[in-house]
């Protein structure tokens, strides 16, 4: 049975770590902000064709940078598992009378909350740079997509963390995984402009549907329908979280 108290405690711990670790937050946001600032300044006047008659680059870019933020913060949430294992905290909670699913759900909810807060911060900064959100419903729908992206990649991060014990090795592997996912997602440029074989790889990238879904709700144009993007993300999120929970329980029970 799911232990809601355990989930809340683990969520609260992640929130306290988030607010106290100011340097971690700044470091995580630095790269998305650099991409947002320099690319929007360099290409801000350029229109993106084939998207509803043309969209200026800043509006095209912002959903991609928000998706990038979700990807980076969520995947590296797995490193907290390695730190907890290193310093003995993980062993303490594993011997507590709490089922493993509650532990995974608590970590996922906590990591997703901190990721979404950072995504909202990126959105707020982008408004100062000329991005516009038309309505509160668009903003709320964007949070739904942020949560789905974050949950999916936290699950993927847990899968890697459950199989690894070296913190430095984890960081290197994450970089090898994160950057192809990011560049194939169409966050910085339309995937319709890519060669067909690279475009096929983009269609296999789940972040593609997260970024496209964010564009659908924030700027009203997208490559796929909103329902299609939502369905793909929900399915991928469920698979990753369940698989992450299974591998986490299996490996920590050994």
Residue 253 has pLDDT above 60, yes or no: no
For 90-103, write each residue's pLDDT tens digit. Answer: 666 666 667 667 77
Q: How confident is the model at residue 7 (pLDDT cuts 50, 70, 90)?
A: confident
What confidence score (pLDDT) does residue 228 get?
Answer: 95
Enumerate the domain spans of the chain.
4-252
Pick the more confident residue, 143 or 190. 143
Residue 236 has pLDDT above 80, yes or no: yes
- The per-residue pLDDT of the chain, averaged, comes to 81
Total Cβ atoms within 10 A of residue 233? 23
What confidence score (pLDDT) does residue 52 get?
Answer: 47
Q: How confident is the model at residue 128 (pLDDT cuts 50, 70, 90)?
A: confident
What confidence score (pLDDT) does residue 163 get?
Answer: 75
For 17-49, write each residue's pLDDT tens digit. Answer: 777 766 667 777 778 888 887 877 666 555 665
List, as own/partner pairs, every contact residues 25-29 make where C-beta atoms lie below 8 angstroms and the sequence separation is at least 24, other chains included. Answer: 25/118, 28/69, 28/72, 28/73, 28/76, 28/118, 29/69, 29/118, 29/121, 29/122
The end-to-end CA distance of the chain, in Å, is: 21
For 150-172, write each residue's pLDDT tens digit. Answer: 988 888 888 887 777 777 677 77
For 100-123, write each residue's pLDDT tens digit. Answer: 677 778 878 888 888 898 899 889
Tell me what the mean pLDDT of segment 135-139 comes to: 89
Pick the more confident residue, 37 or 201. 201
List b or e across 183-212, with b for residues whose CB sees 16 or more CB atoms inside 10 angstroms: bbbbbbbebeeeeeeeeeebeebbbbbbbb
For 50-101, write each residue's pLDDT tens digit. Answer: 554 567 888 888 999 999 989 888 877 767 776 666 666 666 666 666 766 7
């Amino acid at each position: 049975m799911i232990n809601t108290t355990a989930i809340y405690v683990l969520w609260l711990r992640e929130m306290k770590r988030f607010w106290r670790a100011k340097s971690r937050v700044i470091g995580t946001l630095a790269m998305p902000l650099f991409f947002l600032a320099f690319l929007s300044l360099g290409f801000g006047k350029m229109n993106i064709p084939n998207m509803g008659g043309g969209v200026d680059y800043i509006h095209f870019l912002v959903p991609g940078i928000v998706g990038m933020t979700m990807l980076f913060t969520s995947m590296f949430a797995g490193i907290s598992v390695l730190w907890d294992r290193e310093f003995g905290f993980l062993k303490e909670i594993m011997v507590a009378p709490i089922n493993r699913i509650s532990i995974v759900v608590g970590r996922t909810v906590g990591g997703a909350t901190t990721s979404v807060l950072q995504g909202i911060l990126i959105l707020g900064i982008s408004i100062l740079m000329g991005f516009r959100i038309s309505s509160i419903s668009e903003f709320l729908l964007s949070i739904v997509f942020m949560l789905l992206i974050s949950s999916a990649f936290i699950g993927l991060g847990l899968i890697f963390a459950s199989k690894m014990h070296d913190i430095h090795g984890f960081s290197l592997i994450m970089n090898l995984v994160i950057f192809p996912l990011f560049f194939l997602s169409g966050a910085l440029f339309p995937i319709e402009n890519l060669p067909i074989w690279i475009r096929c790889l983009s269609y296999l990238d789940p972040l593609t549907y997260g970024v496209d879904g964010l564009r659908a709700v924030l700027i009203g144009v997208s490559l796929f329908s909103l329902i299609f993007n939502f369905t793909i993300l929900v399915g991928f999120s469920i698979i990753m979280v369940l698989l992450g929970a299974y591998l986490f329980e299996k490996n920590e029970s050994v």
